[in-house]
Structure 1
Amino acid sequence: MNANDQGRFVTILTGVADYYERTLPASVISLYWAGLRAYDLAAVEKAMWEHTQSPDESGRWMPKIADIKQKLEGRTQDQASIAWAKVDSGVRKVGTYRDVVFDDGMIHRVLADMGGWIALGRKTEVEWPFIAKEFENRYRGYRLRSEAPDFPPVLIGISNAQNEHQGFQKQEPVLIGDAEKAKQVMLLGTTKPLIAMQLLSAAANSQEQMRRIA
């Protein structure tokens, strides 16, 4: 959340407090804001609503910061586990010789950050649990920050990497997961560099040109 979200956050929090017949002093509201501002506002609101609907003992009491964090991080862990299950299945059933397109663009971004689809296929069974943990941590990080980073439209496999280098016709990719969603990932992906890089001199020239235009 950012400073613009604070008003809405306070409204949500005081509304939940009213539901539990609690009055929160400003100092306590500030504690909630400091403890939860790293998360997305919509996600925090949903987590608070879920707490009020909880059928167990915890749902009878005003949620603490730790209760909301537990719900938020538990949800992203579930998402990360589901995403990794798709990756693991893709490597084992399709392999990294073929191009693949998952039905979740975040999977593409995380694997790109980790070195790409081909690099994943070079990992050993001994390394695999550590790779799984790294993937899930990176995936959760993006989800917790509610980021929507750029991602490649297709994860390139060994065969097409070689075909492109030698000028041969490329094979079509394998769609993993929901085929229609995977097609959307292809359409929304980008072939530009995922991390922008520029020489210092070029950046300085660009700033100078912008000053002249202004």
Structure 2
Amino acid sequence: MERRLISRDRLGEMLMGTYTVYRETLSKPILEIWWKLLQGKSQEDVERSFGIYLNSHTRLPVPADIIGLIEGTDEEKAIKALNMVEEAMEKYGAWKSVVFSDPLIHVVIGQTGGWIKVCRLTEKDYVWWAKDFRERYRILLRYPDENREIPERLPGYADLENRRNGLPESKPVMIGFGVQKEAIHVEGRQEKAISGSARRIP
């Protein structure tokens, strides 16, 4: 199930309530700043983070406070990414090609043998792979590289067969993109918003 992204109206309602609690006035310019920084976040994450903040702080939050709660620590981010991979493996397996909203997942899976190999790991091997995934993911977070090559998609069996037979690649499964996130498949390529200016491998 795809996550629902926070809407401008819903964010405005939450901020109006929050500012009222702290006896402050929410202006349109301030709302616009919040919206620019939080658009693209899931509604569930934003609501949860505001709840956590209001239960533990006595000052008015700034965007960095909420973003920090949403994104969590590097380990939390790695676990969240791994959970996304596990769900995709269970739902789609090695047959379908996949595109994750998080480009670092592509990097780690590419480094560890590719989508098909990962999906075929035994239960014992997967335990070690999952640990390796988290470690690699944390390193990528700590040492970002704008020139790092990121696979555009993680090919499954279907696309490998298509390539062998000279057929066009099939449309991949988009994973982790919210219902409001636009992901357009054009001539076998995925055009999507990904942070950074890393080069893409077709």
Q: Sort the TM-score into its range (normalised by shorter chain).
A: 0.5 to 0.7
Q: Deviations over 1:14-67 (max 9, x none)?
A: xxxxxxxxxxxxxxxxxxxxxxxxxxxxxxxxxxxxxxxxx69xxxxxxxxxxx
Tell me how many residue pairs correspond in the alignment: 124
Deviation at 1:150, TM superposition (A): 2.1
Q: Deviations over 1:66-101 (max 9, x none)?
A: xxxxxxxx7100000000001111111111111100
Query: Is the 8 Å Cα contact of residues 149 and 201 (structure 2) preserved in structure 1?
Result: no
- The residue number in structure 2 matching 1:112 is 110
Distance 2:113 2:105 in 1: 12
Q: Measured at CA, do residues 86 and 182 of structure 1 come closer, stay the same or move farther in structure 2, by a change above 3 Å? A: farther
Distance 2:136 2:129 in 1: 11
Unaligned 5+ segments in structure 2 are 1-55, 58-71
- The residue number in structure 2 matching 1:165 is 164
Distance 2:78 2:99 in 1: 17
Structure 1: which amino acid aligns with 2:135? N
Distance 1:77 1:181 in 2: 28
Deviation at 1:168, TM superposition (A): 2.8
User: Structure 1 runs of 4+ off > 3 angstroms?
Assistant: 181-189
Secondary structure (helix, strand or coil) at the match of 1:127 reads helix
Distance 2:182 2:131 in 1: 25
Structure 1: which amino acid aligns with 2:142? L
Q: Measured at CA, do residues 181 and 83 of structure 1 come closer, stay the same or move farther in structure 2, by a change above 3 Å? A: farther
Distance 2:167 2:100 in 1: 24
- Greater percentage in strand: 2
- The residue number in structure 1 matching 2:200 is 190
Deviation at 1:182, TM superposition (A): 6.0
Kindly, what percent of the aligned residue pairs are identical?
30
Greater RCO between the two (CA within 8 Å, min separation 6)?
2
Structure showing greater Rg: 1
